[in-house]
A and B are shown apart, each in its own frame.
Chain A
Amino acid sequence: VTLRLTELLTAESGWKVVAAAFSEPHDPTMEANPSGPIDGATDAGPLTALLASPAQLQAALAKGTATSVFGTDRGEHAYGDAAARALVKTWSKLALAVEGKPREVHGKGWGFSLAYVNWLKKGDPYPSRMAGLVLGVPDDHGGWSVVAAHFTPL
Protein backbone atom coordinates (compact mmCIF):
# COMPACT_ATOMS: atom_id res chain seq x y z
CA VAL A 1 0.00 0.00 0.00
CA THR A 2 1.26 3.46 -0.85
CA LEU A 3 0.13 6.29 1.37
CA ARG A 4 0.26 9.97 0.61
CA LEU A 5 1.03 12.00 3.66
CA THR A 6 0.81 15.70 4.45
CA GLU A 7 1.45 16.90 7.98
CA LEU A 8 1.77 20.22 9.76
CA LEU A 9 3.87 20.39 12.90
CA THR A 10 4.42 23.58 14.84
CA ALA A 11 6.67 24.98 17.52
CA GLU A 12 3.59 25.87 19.58
CA SER A 13 2.67 22.20 19.83
CA GLY A 14 6.18 21.14 20.81
CA TRP A 15 6.80 20.11 17.23
CA LYS A 16 3.96 17.68 17.21
CA VAL A 17 1.56 17.25 14.35
CA VAL A 18 -1.52 19.47 14.58
CA ALA A 19 -3.12 18.50 11.27
CA ALA A 20 -2.47 15.66 8.89
CA ALA A 21 -3.91 13.90 5.89
CA PHE A 22 -3.16 10.31 4.95
CA SER A 23 -4.65 8.98 1.75
CA GLU A 24 -4.55 6.25 -0.82
CA PRO A 25 -5.13 7.56 -4.34
CA HIS A 26 -8.40 6.57 -6.00
CA ASP A 27 -11.40 8.24 -7.58
CA PRO A 28 -13.83 9.84 -5.14
CA THR A 29 -17.19 8.13 -5.23
CA MET A 30 -20.71 9.51 -5.46
CA GLU A 31 -22.51 9.46 -2.12
CA ALA A 32 -25.98 10.70 -1.26
CA ASN A 33 -25.27 11.49 2.37
CA PRO A 34 -22.64 13.86 3.70
CA SER A 35 -20.14 12.80 6.31
CA GLY A 36 -20.67 13.69 9.95
CA PRO A 37 -19.45 16.94 11.45
CA ILE A 38 -15.74 17.63 11.74
CA ASP A 39 -14.37 17.50 15.26
CA GLY A 40 -13.68 20.97 16.58
CA ALA A 41 -15.38 22.62 13.63
CA THR A 42 -14.97 26.36 13.24
CA ASP A 43 -16.29 29.07 11.01
CA ALA A 44 -14.79 29.07 7.55
CA GLY A 45 -11.92 31.46 6.97
CA PRO A 46 -9.78 32.43 4.02
CA LEU A 47 -7.98 29.09 3.79
CA THR A 48 -11.21 27.14 3.58
CA ALA A 49 -12.31 29.09 0.53
CA LEU A 50 -9.23 27.88 -1.32
CA LEU A 51 -10.31 24.26 -1.05
CA ALA A 52 -13.27 24.79 -3.35
CA SER A 53 -11.69 27.30 -5.70
CA PRO A 54 -8.89 25.94 -7.87
CA ALA A 55 -8.33 29.40 -9.34
CA GLN A 56 -7.81 30.95 -5.91
CA LEU A 57 -5.74 28.02 -4.76
CA GLN A 58 -3.53 28.27 -7.82
CA ALA A 59 -2.96 31.96 -7.18
CA ALA A 60 -2.15 31.39 -3.51
CA LEU A 61 0.45 28.67 -3.96
CA ALA A 62 3.77 29.64 -2.42
CA LYS A 63 6.80 29.92 -4.61
CA GLY A 64 9.50 27.35 -3.99
CA THR A 65 10.40 23.73 -4.26
CA ALA A 66 8.73 22.76 -0.96
CA THR A 67 5.21 23.50 -2.17
CA SER A 68 3.25 20.35 -2.82
CA VAL A 69 -0.22 19.33 -3.94
CA PHE A 70 -1.94 15.96 -3.87
CA GLY A 71 -5.15 15.25 -5.74
CA THR A 72 -7.24 12.14 -5.36
CA ASP A 73 -6.09 10.29 -8.47
CA ARG A 74 -2.96 8.20 -8.71
CA GLY A 75 -1.20 10.59 -11.06
CA GLU A 76 -2.13 13.72 -9.17
CA HIS A 77 0.93 14.66 -7.16
CA ALA A 78 3.04 17.74 -7.65
CA TYR A 79 6.17 19.01 -5.98
CA GLY A 80 7.38 22.55 -6.41
CA ASP A 81 5.27 25.58 -7.21
CA ALA A 82 5.38 25.24 -10.98
CA ALA A 83 4.19 21.64 -10.96
CA ALA A 84 1.65 22.44 -8.26
CA ARG A 85 0.17 25.30 -10.28
CA ALA A 86 -0.01 23.09 -13.35
CA LEU A 87 -1.84 20.37 -11.43
CA VAL A 88 -4.31 22.73 -9.79
CA LYS A 89 -4.98 24.37 -13.15
CA THR A 90 -6.33 21.06 -14.44
CA TRP A 91 -9.09 21.33 -11.83
CA SER A 92 -10.24 24.77 -12.94
CA LYS A 93 -13.53 23.61 -14.44
CA LEU A 94 -14.57 21.28 -11.63
CA ALA A 95 -17.74 22.15 -9.72
CA LEU A 96 -16.46 22.06 -6.14
CA ALA A 97 -18.13 23.18 -2.93
CA VAL A 98 -17.30 22.99 0.75
CA GLU A 99 -19.80 20.91 2.73
CA GLY A 100 -20.56 21.92 6.31
CA LYS A 101 -18.24 23.62 8.72
CA PRO A 102 -14.48 23.21 8.39
CA ARG A 103 -11.82 23.27 11.01
CA GLU A 104 -9.72 26.30 10.21
CA VAL A 105 -7.03 27.22 12.71
CA HIS A 106 -4.46 30.01 12.55
CA GLY A 107 -1.35 30.06 14.72
CA LYS A 108 1.84 32.05 14.89
CA GLY A 109 3.12 31.91 11.35
CA TRP A 110 0.93 29.04 10.23
CA GLY A 111 -2.62 28.10 9.43
CA PHE A 112 -4.61 25.19 8.15
CA SER A 113 -8.09 24.32 7.07
CA LEU A 114 -9.58 20.87 6.86
CA ALA A 115 -12.99 20.55 5.24
CA TYR A 116 -15.25 18.28 3.31
CA VAL A 117 -15.32 19.12 -0.38
CA ASN A 118 -18.04 17.99 -2.77
CA TRP A 119 -17.40 17.53 -6.45
CA LEU A 120 -20.62 17.57 -8.45
CA LYS A 121 -20.04 15.84 -11.76
CA LYS A 122 -22.30 16.61 -14.67
CA GLY A 123 -25.23 14.21 -14.77
CA ASP A 124 -24.62 12.74 -11.33
CA PRO A 125 -27.50 13.05 -8.85
CA TYR A 126 -25.16 13.25 -5.87
CA PRO A 127 -21.71 14.71 -5.37
CA SER A 128 -18.52 12.74 -5.22
CA ARG A 129 -17.17 13.36 -1.77
CA MET A 130 -13.69 14.33 -0.74
CA ALA A 131 -11.91 15.97 2.14
CA GLY A 132 -9.24 18.59 1.73
CA LEU A 133 -6.43 19.89 3.87
CA VAL A 134 -4.64 23.11 3.03
CA LEU A 135 -1.59 24.41 4.89
CA GLY A 136 -0.61 28.05 4.69
CA VAL A 137 1.78 30.65 6.00
CA PRO A 138 0.94 34.36 6.23
CA ASP A 139 2.17 36.39 3.30
CA ASP A 140 3.38 39.99 3.33
CA HIS A 141 0.03 41.38 2.25
CA GLY A 142 -2.27 40.09 4.96
CA GLY A 143 -3.17 36.99 2.99
CA TRP A 144 -1.96 33.43 2.91
CA SER A 145 0.59 31.52 0.90
CA VAL A 146 -0.26 27.87 0.52
CA VAL A 147 2.59 25.44 1.07
CA ALA A 148 0.57 22.25 0.73
CA ALA A 149 -2.85 21.10 -0.34
CA HIS A 150 -4.08 17.53 -0.09
CA PHE A 151 -7.38 16.14 -1.30
CA THR A 152 -8.49 12.69 -0.20
CA PRO A 153 -11.43 10.61 -1.41
CA LEU A 154 -13.96 9.68 1.27
Chain B
Amino acid sequence: LVAIALGTVACVAHAGPKPVQRAKQLVDAQVAALEGDEAKLTATFASDAILLVPDR
Protein backbone atom coordinates (compact mmCIF):
# COMPACT_ATOMS: atom_id res chain seq x y z
CA LEU B 1 0.00 0.00 0.00
CA VAL B 2 1.40 3.32 -0.99
CA ALA B 3 0.04 6.45 0.59
CA ILE B 4 1.08 9.81 -0.72
CA ALA B 5 0.58 11.76 2.44
CA LEU B 6 2.87 14.65 1.90
CA GLY B 7 3.17 16.22 -1.44
CA THR B 8 3.42 19.29 -3.52
CA VAL B 9 2.98 19.92 -7.19
CA ALA B 10 4.26 23.06 -8.77
CA CYS B 11 2.35 24.40 -11.73
CA VAL B 12 3.16 27.41 -13.83
CA ALA B 13 -0.02 29.40 -14.21
CA HIS B 14 -1.54 29.42 -17.68
CA ALA B 15 -5.04 29.33 -19.08
CA GLY B 16 -7.14 26.32 -18.16
CA PRO B 17 -7.84 24.68 -14.85
CA LYS B 18 -6.39 26.43 -11.86
CA PRO B 19 -3.00 25.08 -10.87
CA VAL B 20 -4.30 23.56 -7.67
CA GLN B 21 -7.02 21.75 -9.60
CA ARG B 22 -4.55 20.48 -12.14
CA ALA B 23 -2.24 19.35 -9.37
CA LYS B 24 -5.01 17.44 -7.64
CA GLN B 25 -6.08 15.79 -10.90
CA LEU B 26 -2.52 14.73 -11.56
CA VAL B 27 -1.91 13.25 -8.12
CA ASP B 28 -5.30 11.52 -8.13
CA ALA B 29 -4.46 9.94 -11.49
CA GLN B 30 -1.04 8.86 -10.31
CA VAL B 31 -2.33 7.35 -7.07
CA ALA B 32 -4.98 5.43 -9.01
CA ALA B 33 -2.38 4.24 -11.50
CA LEU B 34 -0.06 3.10 -8.71
CA GLU B 35 -2.52 0.32 -8.05
CA GLY B 36 -1.40 -1.46 -11.17
CA ASP B 37 -1.84 0.56 -14.33
CA GLU B 38 1.73 1.32 -15.28
CA ALA B 39 0.75 2.73 -18.67
CA LYS B 40 -1.50 5.32 -17.08
CA LEU B 41 1.23 6.26 -14.63
CA THR B 42 3.80 6.58 -17.40
CA ALA B 43 1.42 8.76 -19.40
CA THR B 44 1.56 11.44 -16.73
CA PHE B 45 5.26 12.05 -17.44
CA ALA B 46 6.82 13.83 -20.41
CA SER B 47 9.00 11.64 -22.59
CA ASP B 48 12.14 13.38 -21.41
CA ALA B 49 11.09 13.69 -17.78
CA ILE B 50 13.69 13.14 -15.11
CA LEU B 51 12.64 11.38 -11.92
CA LEU B 52 14.18 10.74 -8.55
CA VAL B 53 12.71 7.60 -7.08
CA PRO B 54 13.54 5.64 -3.93
CA ASP B 55 16.07 2.84 -4.31
CA ARG B 56 14.03 -0.15 -3.11
Residues of A whose CB lies within 8 Å of any CB of B are 1-11, 13-24, 38-40, 66, 68, 70, 77, 79, 103, 108-110, 114, 131, 133, 135, 137, 147-148, 150, 152, 154
Contacts and interface: CB of A to CB of B under 8 A. Distances in A.
A79 B51 CA distance: 22
Interface string B1-38: 11111111111101010000011001100000000000
Given A11-B12, A16-B44, A148-B10, A5 B4 contact: yes
Interface of B: 1-12, 14, 16, 22-23, 26-27, 43-46, 48-55
Given A9-B22, A17-B26, A154-B55, A40 B7 contact: no
B5 A22 contact: no
Contacts of A6: 7-10
Contacts of B27: 5
A8 B10 contact: yes
A119 B49 CA distance: 26
B12 A110 contact: yes
A68 B10 CA distance: 9
